[in-house]
Amino acid sequence: MRRSAIIAGVACLSLALVGCSSTTNEAGSGGSDKDVQIVSWWAQGSEKAGLDALEKIFNKEKPECHFVNAAVAGGAGSQAKQKLQADLDAGNPPDSFQAHAGAELSDYISAGQIEDVSPLYDKFKLRDVFPETLIDRLTVDGKIYSIPSNIHRANVVWYNPKVLEEAGLPTDTLPDSVPAWIADMEKIKASGKIPITLGSNWTQTQLLESVLIADLGPDAYNGLWDGKTAWDSTEVTKALEDFQKIVKLAQIDSSADWEPTLDYVMNGKAAYNVMGDWAVAAFNEAKKVDGVDYKWAPVPGSKGVFDFLADSFTKPKGLKNAKCAEEWLDVIGSAAGQGEFNKIKGSIPARTDVDMSEFPAYQQAAAQDFKQDTIVASLSHGAAAPLAVSSAINDAVVKFTQGQGDDLAGFQKDLVNATKSLK
């Protein structure tokens, strides 16, 4: 091994807490006028493959710019967001960074850290190619602060049909309610397999939001974010009781990111994993066959509801290379960029004019659902609530699961406190 590689490896080790990718070194290398530094959390595995596709198109279409990958590993931005916040607060922004469309952007907007990019919507002719509902979610006081690259769905269960079969369960459809699904989990447990796996805080919150959507229905779920549904109501208590039952049946590894917990389903040790549809990219990368090695369905009880989130890219104030940052945003919003990226990433294009015929079957179905389902905003992926609220909910969830899911009343009280700032 070359000495520089060894040194980089040591630096990576010491940076382990904030994540590290081989290219973070490139980001710190001083750079040239062409460099455009892009922060995301697509640092490894199937997620990096998606970013690589974007980089390839960017390099080809914008030869006057040089993509510098400043990705920070950690699913759902669990590490990237902290590092980014420190850089923004220190007045050292990247040229563009990944952020969830919706409520999570409000943190950066109110801190005055990102620019209104609505002039770019006109320049790149984006207003007519994104769904109106998405533009509405992105618009704050008439301004738009990011350009979406994709749309993901969070309320999906990925399951291993062989494990269900061994437990004597049907494999073509899942039950249509959470209680019936829990009954199936009991059967799986009795067959000697793990019913469901959970990982770090946000994966647990993602399960919680899916159960809330399924049990409350989309209207009452939406009400959780604008004060119309009380967090201390009995309907929420009922949903939390279901969540509690699942937690008690789950194998939980709070230190694991999403891919290792999905692996249990892939290798036939567990039946179910609730995960956003970036999971399909991991199955594809492992060469698993949809419908044979794995199947998927909306979380039981939430059929017809699409728990939406979108990744988007921003133009930070005080960035170094405005010209190439705009070129990057041009590629992010373009039909070619969205086509190549989303095929690999498991998501669907945010644009409505991308040809879906060459997309894998999963995304074709997701695109169809997105058109006809009721759309709700994901909590764990920044669409429903500001970062301070989702972080406080994460803390409440982990406290509950670390206490073996025993203190339901305490959990509900913590959730009430976590969401106090919402109108």
Dist CA 353 CA 109 (whole Å)? 29
Q: Does 47 bind ligand GAL (CB under 6 A)?
A: yes
Among 381, 385, 396, 412, binds ligand GAL (CB under 6 A): 381
309 or 354, CB closer to ligand GAL?
309
By beta-carbon proximity to ligand GAL, the closer residue of 244 and 284 is 284
Q: For 369-382, b where at least 16 C-beta lie within 10 A, e where not — what string?
A: bbeebebbbbbbbb
Closest CB to ligand GAL: residue number: 75
Check binding of 137 to ligand GAL (CB under 6 A): no
For the segment 77-136, give every residue that binds ligand GAL (CB under 6 A). Answer: 77
Task: Compute CA distances 230 → 1, 91, 220, 243, whole Å.
Answer: 59, 39, 9, 17
Q: Three-class SS of residue 293?
A: coil
Question: Residues with Cβ < 8 Å from 258, sequence gap 6 or more?
Answer: 75, 76, 199, 200, 203, 275, 278, 279
The interface region with ligand GAL, picked from 70-78, 171-179, 316-324, 390-398 by CB under 6 A, is 70-78
Label the pairing between strands 143-144 and 194-198: unpaired
Residues of span 249-308 touching ligand GAL by CB under 6 A: 258, 276, 278
Q: 3-state DSSP call for residue 2?
A: coil
> Cβ contacts of residue 271 below 8 Å, gap of 6+?
159, 160, 163, 164, 167, 185, 188, 193, 194, 195, 196, 265
| Of 75, 298, 300, 316, the one binding ligand GAL by CB under 6 A | 75
Contact between 311 and ligand GAL per CB under 6 A: yes
Pick the closer one to ligand GAL by CB: 168 or 260.
260
Neighbours of 178 (CB within 10 A): 25
CA angle, residues 230, 218, 202, in degrees to nearest 5? 75
Nearer residue to ligand GAL within complex by CB, 246 or 275: 275
Contact window for ligand GAL (CB under 6 A) among 69-77, 237-245, 297-305, 366-374: 69-77
Contact range with ligand GAL by CB under 6 A, out of 15-23, 74-82, 109-117, 172-180: 74-82
Give the integer Cα–Cα distance in Å for 415 and 402: 16
Residue type, 296: W
- Minimum Å gap between C-beta 152 and ligand GAL is 5
Q: Which residue has the tokens 């909590």?
A: 379
Strand, coil or helix: 79: coil
Interface with ligand GAL, residue 340, by CB under 6 A: no
Beta carbon of residue 327, minimum distance to ligand GAL (angstroms, whole number): 22
When the beta carbons of 309 and 384 are compared against ligand GAL, the nearer one is 309
Among residues 41, 67, 158, 341, which is the contact residue for ligand GAL, using CB under 6 A?
41
Gap between the Cα atoms of 106 and 138, Å rounded: 10
Q: Considering the complex, what minimum distance in angstroms separates the CB of residue 329 from ligand GAL?
A: 17
Residue number with CB closer to ligand GAL (79 or 244) = 79
Question: Where does this chain bind ligand GAL (CB under 6 A)?
Answer: 41-42, 47, 75-77, 152, 258, 276, 278, 309, 311, 381
